[in-house]
Amino acid sequence: MIRTALSNPYLVVVICLAITVMGFFTYTKIPADLLPQFDTSAVQIVCFYPGMPPEVMEKDIMSRLQRWTGQSVGIEHQEAKAMQGVCIVKDFFREGIPMSDAMSQVSSYAMSDMFYLPPGTIPPMVMPFDPTASVPLCLVVVSNPKMDEQELYDIAYYELRNKLQSIQGVIAPAVYGGKLRRVLAYVYPEKLEAHGLSLLDVQEALLKQNVLIPAGSIKVGLQELQIFTNANVEKWEELNNAPIKSIPGQSPVLMRDIGYVNGKAAQIQTNVVRVNGSRKAYIPIYRQPGANTISIVKQIKKQLRDIEERLKVERSEDPKMESLVLSVAMDQSLGVEQGNRSLQIAAGLGAVLAGLVVLLFLRSIRFTVIIVLAIPLAILTAIFAMYFTNDSINAMTLGGLALAIGILVDQSIVVLENIVRHAQMGKEPKEAALEGTSEVAVPMFVATATFAIVFFPVVFLSGLAKFLFTPLAVAASIAIFTSYILAITLVPAYCAKFLRKRSDSQEAASQHRSNQGAAGVIARTYKLLLQRLLSVRYLVVLAAGAAFIIAVLLMTRYMGRELFPQVDSGQISIFVRMPTGTRIEETEKRVQEIEKVIISLIGEPDPGFAVGKETNPNSNLQLLVSNIGVLMDWPAAYTPNTGSMDTFMLLQTKSKSDKPAIFQYVQQLRKQLITKFPDVEFAFDTGGMMTAALNMGEPSPIHFQIQSSNL
C-alpha cells in the first residue's frame, strides 16, 4: 500500500477528494437526532367500545387482546392500560425481530380475537410504536380569537391534520383540545311520555329517516345509471320534521312535537387544552422510526405558512379565517440541534487545538497542514460509513468522533517524524518516505488495533446499552482505521512531493537543534525526577496503590451512578392529579390557580421569544400548555392522562443564563404547589426527549408494579 501511494500520488489525491465529496454529500442526507435509533420492535393496539366501564374493558377486551397477541414469536413483555371505552395494549419484542414481522403477527392475532370480543366492539387498530419517540417533536397550535372551540377543532382535525401527515416522516395522530361538533336530538320527557314513546323509539325513528341505501343500477338506452335510495337530509333542520310515530287516522308525531334537533351542538367535553391561559387546540407531531428529527421540524415550519395561506384561500367565504394562526410550540428539535452543535464545536476546537500544538512543536506550516488534514478526512469517512450502516448524527456518534480526534493526529505525527529523520540522514525524499513509513507501519497498526479493540466488548452488550454505545464504537473505530490508512498513504506521498533533501531537511535539522535547549532542560529534569523515584520505587508503588484504593472508596461512597447525567432541556413537564372523580370543570379551575403560581415564579408567557420578538424580557417563561382530561378516542393512546381528574402541563423556558436552571425551578415549584394544594398530587420531569428515550417512553426510570387478580 505504501509503495502504491508513492508510485501514484495523484491517485491518493483523487481518493481524498472523493472522500471529501462523498462525506459532505452523505452529511446532508444522514439523519440527525438526539440519540441513536432503537431498533427493537414494538406494536401498539388500540380498541374502543364507547361508554364501556374500565373494569369491563380490562377483563373482557384488554386481557383477551393481551393473551392472544402474547402468542407472537419474540414477545419480550406487554404493557396495557384500560380507561372508559378505550384500552391500549403495547407489545414489546426482543432484539432482532423486524417491525414488519411484529406488525403482521400482532395484526393477525388481534383480528382473530374479534370473534371472542363483546358484540359492538370496534375492531382493534394495530400500529407501530417507537418507545424512544414517545415525546412529540413539537406541537402545532391552532389559534383564532374570533373562533370558538368547535371551529378550532374542525380546522385542526379535518383540514390541518391531513396536510401535516403528507410531510415525510411525520405522524400526526390526534387533536387535543376543542369541542367535537355533533348533531344532537333533545326531547322533552313530559311530551315523550304523553305520546307513549321512549328514547329508543326516537333513536330508531331518526335512524330510519336518515339512510342511504344502494339500490343497484338501471340500463336505459345506451346508458347504465346507478340508483340510490337517498333519504339523507341535506340540512340538519329537516330532522325536526322527521316522523317518529304513526297513528292511524291521526297526524304522525314529528320530532318537533316532542323535542328538537340541534346541529350546532358539541359532544360533552372531556378534554380541555389551555395555551398561555386561553383555550386552544393543538396537534402533537411524532416522528416515524428512523426519520430525521431536525429535518421534520424544519419542513413543518417551512410548510406551515403555506398550509395556513391555503386554508384561508379554501375557506375564503368565512371572514374569521383571516385571524387564523398556525404556530409551532414546544420545539424539541432546538435541543437536539443545540446539543449536536455543541459537540461539533467541541470536536472542532479539539482539532484546532491539536493543530496549534503540532504547529508549535514542528514549526512548519506545510507539515502541520498534512497532519491536521487527516482529521476531517477521517471524520468524513466515518460519516460516509455511518450513512450506509443506518446510523445517524447524534450525541453518541459525535462523542465517538470527538474521542478519536487525538488518536487521528498521533498516527500522522509518528509517520512524519520518522520520514523527516530519514531525510536528515541524507536520503532522497521518496526513499525517506518509503523507509520511514515502512518502519512504523506495523507498530502503528498494532497501536491502532489496540485503540479499536477497546470498543470490542460492545458486541456483548444488549438492550439499551447496545443501542447507545454501538454507534459510538462504530464511529470511533472507522475514524481510527481511516486515520491509519491516511497516515501510511497520504503522509508519505505528501512528503515525497514537498520534502526537499537539502533545504527542508536542513531546515528541520536546524529546528531540531534550536529545540535542543528547551528539550534538553525537559529531558534533564525528567531524568533527575526518574532517578529519585526509582530509588524509592517500592514507596511509589505503595502510594499509587493507596491512591487507587482511596479513589475507589470515594467513588463508591460519595459519587452517584447514572447512565446519563441530568439534562437541562429548558422544559418542565408537570403531571397533576386531582381527587378521583373530579369534574373537568373543577379540574380546569384548579389548573388555572396552578398556572398563576407558575407565572408568579417564572414570569408571564412570552411566545414571541421563539421568533425573535420578545415582549417581556424580565420573564423566563416562553410557553405554558395545560392538557386537562382525556378524549376517549385516538388521543387516549398518546396521553398520560386517564380521566377528567388528570392534567399534564408543559413549560418551555427561555433558558436565559442569568435565570435559575430548570432544576431550581422544579425545587421551588414542588415546595409551593404542595403547600398551596395539599389535596393534589404532583410529579415533575425535566429530561424531555432524553429521559423519555432512556426510560423507553416512560416519564420515570423506576416503576412500582402491584399485581393481583382482584385489586
Query: What tens digit of pLDDT does each residue of 522-540 get?
Result: 777 888 888 888 888 889 9
- CB neighbour list of residue 396: distance below 8 Å, 6 or more residues apart: 35, 36, 468, 469, 471, 472, 475
pLDDT at residue 27 in the model: 85
Could you tell me what percentage of the chain is helix, strand and coil, using 3-state DSSP and rounding each to the nearest 5? 55, 20, 25
What's the pLDDT score for residue 610?
73
- The pLDDT, as a whole number, for residue 499 is 73
Q: How many helices (H) and strands (E) does the chain have?
A: 22, 21
Instruction: Report the Cα–Cα distance between both ends of the chain, in Å, rounded.
Output: 72
Query: CA geometry: angle at 656 spanning 653 and 661, to 5°?
Result: 70
Nearest alpha-carbon partner for 492 in 449, 551, 440: 440
Beta strand extents in 36-135 (DSSP E only): 42-48, 75-83, 86-93, 122-128
The pLDDT of residue 110: 92
Q: Is 28 helix (H, G, I), strand (E, B) or coil?
A: helix
- Distance CA(646)–CA(84), nearest Å, equals 14
Angle at 162 between CA 134 and CA 269, to 5 degrees: 70
pLDDT at residue 626 in the model: 93
Q: What confidence tens digit (pLDDT) does each residue in 283-300 have?
A: 998 887 767 778 888 888
- The confidence score (pLDDT) of residue 698 equals 65
How far is C-alpha 180 from the geometric centre of its chain's CA atoms? Answer: 29
Q: What is the 3-state secondary structure (H, E, C) of 60-85?
A: HHHHHHHHHHCCCCCEEEEEEEEECC
Containing 559, the helix (H) or strand (E) segment is: none
Distance in angstroms (rounded) separating the CA atoms of residues 489 and 498: 14
Q: Which residue has the cell 444488549?
A: 462
Distance between CA 352 and CA 567 in Å, rounded?
28
The two most distant CA atoms of the chain are separated, in Å, by 127
Which triple of cell numbers denotes residue 663? 432544576
Select from 256, 144, 146, 271 the least CA-distant residue to 195.
256
**CB 326 within 8 Å of CB 140:** yes
pLDDT of residue 597: 93
Residue 407's pLDDT is what?
78
Residue spans of the chain under pLDDT 50? 503-505, 507-508, 514
Spell out the residues 6+ positions from residue 241 whose beta carbon is closer than 8 angstroms to its own: 254, 255, 256
Q: 184: buried, middle or exposed (CB in 10 Å: 19+, 13-18, 0-12)?
A: middle
Asked if 632 and 84 touch (Cβ cutoff 8 Å), the reply is yes
pLDDT score, position 260: 93
| Length of the chain as a residue count | 711
Please report, for residues 23, 62, 335, 548, 673, the alpha-carbon distance to residue 79 in angstroms, rounded to integers and kept in the order given: 42, 10, 30, 45, 31
pLDDT above 70 as % of the chain: 92
